[in-house]
């Protein structure tokens, strides 16, 4: 029997058993890593399963081992801030797509936990309810208390993107989260800009710190003056407000880099409301390359990262932590492509003084 002989239907455990010459119970033990079968039998069963393109339902494996067949994602943001950020839509899309392939469920909780105690209680409640077998940790912070929390709760976890400091938890992402920012600063320098600014997110977030470090290093390398680094909250309102503050300074920038595309678009519109044209008067650079960025007028120059792929790989890594057999990436979990600059119409030569 080969895949073509299945007449277009999905292979079953009975198919595997028939071709391998074993019982269905032996197939189950082989693919679930259980005792009771020889290594030769296990190898033969796995080879047949691979040839037919069959893999066990991760949820079934989890239930066999006493798990819930679900993983959790707690997002500590106010719902109004989350709704305007396409980053999480792409990230969750990648996670859900992969989990679904393995028969796993995703439990999503959104809430604004104003203190570390409330945040810890949210994870403790989730663990106590036994509704999830593991969790994703995103937007990690300096000294993130969640690292200790999940360890104390014995809750498997995977960190989304590189943490700021060493954490005894697996993480998935690029080894150089600030790479695209370095490219953006160089691009602006080559266009003749000498006074630039950076609208950041909260400065306790790991990814913001990596980007800030990259921005300052690149600005110094190219001899550019940093005339402002206001903090924002990733929202459109924050992007607009900080842009107006920067443009009302005595020494104002000719180019601004933003920590996400949402703030960049809002910043461009805010500048336009003051009679400033993008890119003739002010060059704009975003981050994340959300789907609408290329359709704006002018199209947005931005730093692209494959957030959907990031979500897919994070899901695979967490499944591996839970004992689900998955194929590991050939270059490892921390070798995703660095963020890269995509040059479009929102950046141009520096205006004449």
pLDDT on residue 80 = 66
pLDDT on residue 83 = 65
Residue 49 forms part of a structural domain? yes
Span 297-316, mean pLDDT?
95
Q: Are 170 and 265 within one domain?
A: no
- Is residue 325 over pLDDT 80? no
Question: Position of tokens 């810890």?
Answer: 120
Q: Where are the alpha helices (DSSP H) in the chain?
A: 13-20, 24-31, 39-52, 58-64, 79-83, 86-101, 116-129, 145-152, 179-190, 206-221, 236-247, 261-273, 307-321
- Is residue 50 over pLDDT 80? no
Q: Are 95 and 142 within one domain?
A: yes
Q: Are 199 and 257 within one domain?
A: yes
State the CB neighbour count (10 A cutoff) for residue 11: 19
- Is residue 59 over pLDDT 60? no
CATH number for the domain harbouring residue 11: 1.10.260.40
pLDDT on residue 7 = 55
Domain that holds residue 122: 70-174+307-321
Residue 21 forms part of a structural domain? yes
Q: Are 39 and 93 within one domain?
A: no
- Is residue 1 over pLDDT 50? no
β-sheet bridge partners, residue 342: 302
CATH number for the domain harbouring residue 161: 3.40.50.2300
Q: Are 96 and 16 within one domain?
A: no
Band the pLDDT of 2: cuts 50, 70, 90. very low
What secondary structure does DSSP assign to 46-107, as a single string? HHHHHHHT----HHHHHHHTT--SEEEEEE-S-HHHHHT-HHHHHHHHHHHHHHHHTT-EEE
pLDDT on residue 51 = 79
Q: Are 260 and 283 within one domain?
A: yes
Q: At what angle do helices 261-273 and 236-247 cross, to 10 degrees?
A: 50
pLDDT in tens, 219-273: 999 999 999 999 998 999 999 999 999 999 999 999 999 999 999 999 999 999 9
Span 93-111, mean pLDDT?
89
Q: Are 7 and 40 within one domain?
A: yes
Q: Are 44 and 102 within one domain?
A: no
Span 196-224, mean pLDDT?
96
Q: Are 293 and 232 within one domain?
A: yes
The rounded mean pLDDT for the chain is: 88
Span 39-52, mean pLDDT?
81
Domain count across the chain: 3
Residue 328 forms part of a structural domain? no
Residue 245 forms part of a structural domain? yes
Q: Are 51 and 161 within one domain?
A: no
Of the listed ranges 106-115, 147-156, 216-225, the one predicted with least confidence: 106-115
- Is residue 182 over pLDDT 80? yes
With CA atoms as reference, report the closest residue to 244 among 199, 208, 289. Answer: 199
Band the pLDDT of 109: cuts 50, 70, 90. confident
CA-CA distance, 271 to 301, in Å (whole number)?
16
Residue 329 forms part of a structural domain? no
Span 86-115, mean pLDDT?
88
Backbone angles phi and psi of 175, in degrees to 5: -75, -15
More confident residue, 84 or 1: 84
Residue 326 forms part of a structural domain? no
Residue 331 forms part of a structural domain? no
- Is residue 58 over pLDDT 80? no
With CA atoms as reference, report the closest residue to 286 among 215, 342, 338. Answer: 342
Span 90-117, mean pLDDT?
88
Q: Are 122 and 12 within one domain?
A: no
pLDDT in tens, 64-81: 555 678 899 998 877 666
Question: Position of tokens 């909780």?
Answer: 109
Band the pLDDT of 160: cuts 50, 70, 90. very high
Percent of the chain predicted with pLDDT > 90: 59
Span 267-281, mean pLDDT?
96
pLDDT on residue 5 = 53
pLDDT on residue 52 = 77
- Is residue 3 over pLDDT 50? no
Q: Are 183 and 294 within one domain?
A: yes
User: Which helix (H) or strand (E) is 192 found in, with range?
Assistant: none
Residue 63 forms part of a structural domain? no
Q: What is the CA radius of gyration of the chain?
A: 24
Span 161-188, mean pLDDT?
93
Under 8 Å CB-to-CB from 7, ≥6 apart: which residues?
Answer: none
């Amino acid at each position: 029997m080969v895949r073509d002989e299945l007449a277009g239907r999905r292979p079953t455990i009975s198919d595997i058993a028939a071709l391998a010459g074993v019982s269905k119970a032996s197939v189950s033990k082989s693919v679930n890593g259980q005792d009771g079968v020889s290594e030769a039998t296990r190898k033969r069963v796995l080879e047949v399963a691979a040839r037919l393109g069959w893999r066990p339902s991760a949820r079934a494996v989890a239930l066999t081992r006493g798990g819930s067949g679900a993983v959790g994602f707690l997002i500590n943001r106010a719902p109004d801030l989350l709704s305007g950020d396409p980053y999480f839509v792409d990230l969750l899309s990648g996670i859900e797509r992969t989990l679904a392939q393995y028969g796993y469920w995703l439990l999503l909780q959104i809430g604004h936990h104003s203190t570390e105690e409330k945040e810890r209680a949210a994870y403790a409640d989730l663990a106590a309810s036994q509704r999830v077998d593991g969790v994703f940790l995103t937007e990690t912070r300096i000294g993130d208390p969640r690292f200790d929390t999940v360890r104390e709760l014995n809750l498997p976890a995977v960190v989304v993107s590189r943490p700021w400091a060493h954490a005894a938890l697996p993480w998935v992402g690029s080894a150089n989260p600030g790479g695209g920012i370095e490219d953006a600063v160089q691009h602006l320098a080559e266009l003749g800009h000498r006074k630039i600014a950076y609208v950041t997110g909260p400065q306790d977030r790991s990814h913001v710190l990596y980007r800030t470090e990259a921005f300052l290093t690149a600005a110094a390398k190219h001899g550019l003056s940093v005339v402002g680094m206001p903090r924002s909250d990733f929202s459109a309102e924050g992007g607009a407000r900080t842009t107006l503050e920067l443009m009302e300074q005595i020494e104002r920038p000719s180019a601004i880099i933003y920590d996400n595309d949402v703030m960049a678009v809002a910043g461009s519109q805010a500048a336009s409301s003051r009679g400033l044209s993008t890119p003739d008067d002010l060059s704009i650079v975003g981050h994340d390359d959300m789907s609408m960025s290329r359709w704006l007028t002018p199209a947005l120059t931005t730093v692209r990262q494959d957030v959907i792929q990031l979500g897919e790989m994070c899901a695979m890594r967490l499944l591996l932590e839970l004992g689900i057999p998955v194929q590991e990436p050939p270059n490892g979990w921390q070798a995703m492509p660095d963020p890269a600059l995509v040059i479009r119409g929102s950046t141009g030569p520096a205006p004449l003084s």
